[in-house]
Structure 1
Amino acid sequence: MTEAYPLHWPEGKPRTARRERARFDTTHEIAQLALMDELRRMGATHPVLSTDIPVRGDGLPYARHRAPDDPGVAVYFMYKGNQVCFACDRWDRVRDNIQAVRKTIEALRGIARWGTGDMVEAAFKGFEALPAPGKAVSAVWWRVLGVSESATKNEIIAAYREKAKTSHPDVAGGSDSAMAELNNARAEGLRVASR
């Protein structure tokens, strides 16, 4: 997964050149809480909402922070064993882009409820998060983490935490690409260990 701040826009997704004002009637906090609720209802796990608004320890934005220059949002989460990302920067306010992602997920949940769930699975294939730039799609997860192929969930998590101490971009020697590779390895390892 990725960090909530600063904005981690998905690699390869084009940006909107000219943004519009949306007609959503919401606040940042309400939009964010409603988005997390939609993700929970859908069965998504490990959600991270990434924006250019600094967040408090509880994951909510600081109340008095000025509107960022970049209103884009990207929500990363795990869905049926795959890392998925929905991103939006069509609107000129962060809260409206969050609301747009929430509405999209709500619509996909509706499709699943109405009996055409195979369409939802096909739609989600287009939102699978891409690997970090310059990294192989199928990096061997257990080598990245330094564990055996038969590692338990606890071993995977412990190895991830240890490696994150040196891979995180906020520490000397760390980088976004190293952390992305480590995150991908953890997600794949946990998926395999869950079988």
Structure 2
Amino acid sequence: MAKFRSNPTPWPNGAYYFLRFIQFVSSLGVIGILSYFLYYLIRARIGTPPEFIILYVAGLVSLLNIITTGVAKCCGALNAKFALAFDVLLLAFWAVAFALLHRAMGGLIWGDCTDGHWGAAGGNGVYVCRLYKAAWVFAVVAIAFYLGSVILDVVVIRRVGNHKYVVANPKSMQQTKQYTPNYSQDTSYGSGGLPSHG
């Protein structure tokens, strides 16, 4: 009898969608904050820091990855090794972008967002300080949850690797019975069978 591979879903939906949702929110947060900064930097004709560009690209690529892998998973075509490769690359991308941002901010991330540190009262220095810290936090969260995605991918790869082949469900097959002639019945002309020879 032919054997068929069963096709269970190896991805735990709750963990997968939770990780992707937090990554989506983090990416949108980073893109939104940096879009605000870039708008005013360009408007003031001030050079754009490379740290901003790298972090912005990390957010955009993450959104693209979330959308494409989400569509592939909904269609049942998401390969765990493919997902792992991209999650590792994005984890590295976020880590580099975060390291550059943290270095550029120096000790500002641990300082207070007060008028004394960020300009005179009534200015937007405090607001800018809070946005910097929010971008920093979003980057940390993205790194943590991409690490979670890498771990999940490895778990799924092992689960698929340990998956055994099982016989397909007979009810799903088009023909489940074989015809077996019954020679014990009367096969005379009257019953429509072959003539009996005496």
TM range (shorter): under 0.3
Which structure: greater helix fraction?
Answer: 2
Q: TM-score, normalised by structure 2?
A: 0.26
Which structure: greater strand fraction?
Answer: 1
**Higher Rg of the two aligned structures:** 2
Q: TM-score, normalised by structure 1?
A: 0.26
Identify which of structures 1 and 2 has the higher relative contact order when contacts are C-alpha pairs closer than 8 Å and 6+ apart.
2
